[in-house]
Amino acid sequence: MIRAVIVDDEQYGRENLRNLLGRYCPEVEVVGEADSVERGVQVLRDPDLKPDVAFLDINLQDGLVFQLLNELTDRPFEVIFVTAYEQFAVKAFKYSAIDYVLKPIDPDALKEAVAQIRPGRLNRIAQRLDVFQGALAQPHTYEKLTVSALDGIYFLNLKEIVRFEADDNYTNIYLQDGGKLTASKTIKSYEDLLANQHFFRVHKRHMINLNFIRKFVKGDGGYLVMDDGKQIDVSRRRRTEFIERVRKLQEEL
């Protein structure tokens, strides 16, 4: 069983989540609840509870839930925000790889979030919160991306990512220093997330950082030579839009 604590200052919110978990996520056992930052710290520190995951609302009656997490950075539980927070925060959640469910709760979204829980995993919540709060404060100038890879959680500067390559439901991420990560997300999710950054999906399998293009070789669709020497095909239907993106990038320089 996955042991869970719910922190929400509204009784209905706690009861509703508990009922949804019981109905749609029978593998989750709710072992504790709290309605404030202060009480949440007490419950999550209780040595008898030992939760694997905390479902947290952001705005509580005595402050923001970040105050709670700042006191519990060494705790090995996962975090899932359950919140009616403004829609612009959704992208900040995705950049930081912090799981979330928006109110009103969709059962499928809840099941998907629960499926990501890995009891005992080193979750590095403090670093993930730093990325989240930075992205929240500057919603149009993201610099960091948190990546949940197969072997751990990484915090990447967008400027060091050369390209993304699809691998079924996973994505290989290639870095400037020659490193490679395998992320447990699809390339489409990264395309949606980085649409306003200097990244462009040139092919169904490839998305590249426009700053790492060494050469564009014209042809049927053409292909790119990246700074790491990799040749990347450009699909015919994306070629015109790709050339336009490169032109705009040059104007920004």
Q: What is the CATH number of the domain that holds 11?
A: 3.40.50.2300
Residue 120, pLDDT score: 57
Distances (CA, A) of 157 to 96, 142, 147, 213: 12, 9, 11, 18
Q: Mean pLDDT across the stretch 8-37? A: 95
Mean per-residue pLDDT for 197-213? 93
For residues 127 and 65, state if they share a domain.
yes
pLDDT of 88 strictly over 60: no
Position 106 in a domain: yes
Pick the residue with more confidence: 128 or 235? 235
Question: Of 137, 163, 184, which closes a domain?
Answer: 137
Let me know whether 18 and 130 are in one domain: yes
Domain boundary among 137, 162, 177: 137
Do 109 and 195 fall into the same domain?
no
Pair 31, 116 in one domain: yes
The alpha carbon of 194 is separated from its chain's Cα centroid by a whole number of angstroms, namely 12
Closest residue by Cα to residue 60 from 82, 84, 35 = 35
**Are 128 and 172 contained in the same domain?**
no
Instruction: Answer yes or no: do 133 and 158 share one domain.
Output: no
pLDDT of residue 248: 80
Would 95 be classed as within a structural domain?
yes
For residue range 23-72, list pLDDT tens digits in order.
999 999 999 999 999 999 999 999 999 999 999 998 888 888 878 888 88
Q: Distance of alpha carbon 252 from its chain centroid, rounded?
A: 28
Same domain, 51 and 82: yes
pLDDT at residue 90 is higher than 50: yes
Q: What is the span of the domain harbouring residue 81?
A: 2-137
Q: Comparing C-alpha atoms, which of 81, 6, 70 is closest to residue 39?
A: 6
CATH number at residue 204: 2.40.50.1020
Domain count across the chain: 2
144-149 and 99-102 beta bridge pairing: unpaired
Flag whether pLDDT at 189 surpasses 70.
yes
Same domain for 77 and 200?
no
Q: Could you tell me the pLDDT band of residue 119, with boundaries at 50, 70 and 90? A: low
Q: Is residue 160 part of a domain?
A: yes
Is residue 143 domain-resident? no
pLDDT at residue 139 is higher than 60: no
> What was the pLDDT predicted at 63?
84
Q: Are residues 168 and 113 in the same domain?
A: no
Has residue 51 been placed in a domain?
yes
Residue 146 lies in a domain: no
Q: Identify whether residues 166 and 87 lie together within a single domain.
A: no
- Residue 142 domain-assigned (yes or no): no
* pTM, rounded to two decimals: 0.57
Share of the chain above pLDDT 70, in %: 82
Residue 220 lies in a domain: yes
Q: CB count, 10 Å around CB of 52?
A: 20
In this structure, the answer to whether residues 206 and 120 fall within a common structural domain is no
Q: Does 161 lie in the same domain as 91?
A: no
